[in-house]
Amino acid sequence: MNLSKGAEGVEPEINLTSLIDVVLLLLVFFMITTSFVQESQIGIRLPEASSVGPAQVLDERISIAVTAQGTYLVNGRALVDNRAATLEAALSKVAPDFSPTAIIVSADAKASHQAVVTAMDTAGKLGYLEISISTVGAQ
């Protein structure tokens, strides 16, 4: 069995051009389709929970942030005051039809219990059935 070079003496070569094209195409695809979640720009220290379940992927979400001073932010926008009527008007304005929408309440750990209950009660009055409270895992 003769394993020497072929009669012409040409060694096979691997063309990497198509491989590089595919890798760059995948890179561009992932850069375009990736979405980065932007947390609110205010400093909210979330309460800790000992057991954190897997996060659910929701199509539409409304977030209510409660600061340590008791002010409300609906989808990152501050309200003029911290009354329940103002929060109700803001929630009605953000999502007129609430059927597929869930509400996530992110309250500062130092926020009063009354402010969080007011946010949840207001959402319940508007007919929202899926109300979640955002926490961070214990470290």
| CATH code, domain carrying 74 | 3.30.420.270
Query: Residues of the chain with pLDDT > 70: what percent?
Result: 68
Residue 121 has pLDDT above 70, yes or no: yes
Greater pLDDT, 96 or 110: 110
pLDDT attached to residue 57 = 47
Task: With respect to residue 109, please indicate whether it lies within any of the assigned structural domains.
Answer: yes
Domain membership flag for residue 129:
yes
pLDDT tens per residue, range 15-69 = 889 999 999 999 999 888 886 665 555 666 766 666 655 554 444 678 899 998 8
CA 69 to chain centroid: 24
- The pTM assigned to this predicted structure is 0.55
Total structural domains in the chain? Answer: 1
Average pLDDT score over residue span 77-104? 81
- Is residue 24 in some structural domain? no
Is residue 30 classed as helix, strand or coil in its secondary structure? Answer: helix
Residue 100 lies in a domain: yes
Q: What is the mean pLDDT of the chain?
A: 78
Q: Is 4 part of any domain?
A: no
Domain enclosing residue 122, as ranges: 48-137
Structural contact between residues 51 and 136, judged by C-beta atoms closer than 8 angstroms: no
Asked if residue 33 belongs to a domain, the reply is no
Higher pLDDT, 76 or 60: 76
What span, in angstroms and rounded, lies between the C-alpha atoms of 93 and 102? 15
Amino acid identity, position 28: V
